[in-house]
């Protein structure tokens, strides 16, 4: 009876080792070529100023205000 338990135990150990050998492997390697980041960014800004008619007339009347 003890030999049967020993055989079952050793069989389970062998199965466990076989399953552990089938686990996927992950490799982390540096790339062959350098990483290139292209930062050609074109930024355009448009500013629009809307002036009230009364303020516009005051500016025209006294151009040295601003």
Whether the model pTM is above 0.85: no
| Residue 7 predicted with pLDDT over 70 | yes
* Residue whose structure tokens are 């500013």: 47
Q: Are 29 and 23 in contact (CB under 8 A)?
A: no
C-alpha span between 63 and 52 (Å, rounded):
16
**For 14-62, how does the pLDDT look when each residue is reduced to its tens digit (9 = 90+)?**
877 777 766 677 788 888 899 889 888 888 888 777 778 877 788 888 8
How far out from the chain centre does Cα 44 lie? 27
C-alpha span between 9 and 15 (Å, rounded):
10
| Tokens found for residue 14 | 């062998």
Q: Give the pLDDT of residue 48.
A: 78
């Amino acid at each position: 009876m003890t030999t049967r338990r020993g055989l079952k135990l050793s069989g389970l150990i062998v199965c466990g080792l076989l399953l552990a050998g089938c686990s996927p492997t992950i490799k982390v390697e540096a790339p062959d070529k350098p990483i290139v980041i292209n930062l050609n960014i074109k930024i355009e800004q448009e500013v629009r100023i809307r002036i009230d008619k009364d303020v516009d007339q005051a500016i025209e009347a006294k151009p040295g205000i601003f």
